Amino acid sequence: MRHSGGVKSPLDQQDWDELKAAAVEVMRRAYAPYSHYPVGAAALVDDGRLVTGCNVENAAYGVVLCAECGLVSQLHASGGGRLTHFVCVNGDGEVIMPCGRCRQLLFEHGGRDLLVWTVSGVKPMSEVLPDAFGPDDLTSLAGAGTEGAR
């Protein structure tokens, strides 16, 4: 699936279904020997590219990589850009919600307008992660200095 870049237009249901199919395909390559909970993620980039990722578990549970981490790694390995549309699925191919850490990761690379297929329909990231902390918050702090900090 490749869409014309530069303009973020709403996807029709067929496009969303194709994006979900890409997530299901990559989910089948997940490495989940401990939880037995494979996850696949797929997203469109603002230049029309498709990026995907699957979860990769580890015996040291704290170093597990969520599917979204692989997706963002592929985003940057293939040229960067901004995510515009996103979906993730479980081992049954059902749409699932990204965990809190991954919502923050997606916000960083797609912003508040990133469209996310959630368990209750398509929503902008601003609704999936309201009042998110992002790069602009760091910029505003840097300019403020230390006055008033306690």
Bridge partners of 87?
42
Quick check: is 68 catalytic?
yes
Query: Catalytic residue among 68, 108, 127, 147, which?
Result: 68
Pairing label, strands 115-118, 83-89 = parallel
Cβ atoms of 132 and 125 within 8 Å: the answer is yes
Q: Is the dihedral of CA 138, 70, 119, 20 positive or negative?
A: positive
Helices and strands in the chain: count of H runs, count of E runs: 5, 5
Rounded to whole angstroms, how far apart are CA atoms 11 and 85?
Answer: 8
Kindly list the catalytic residues.
Answer: 68
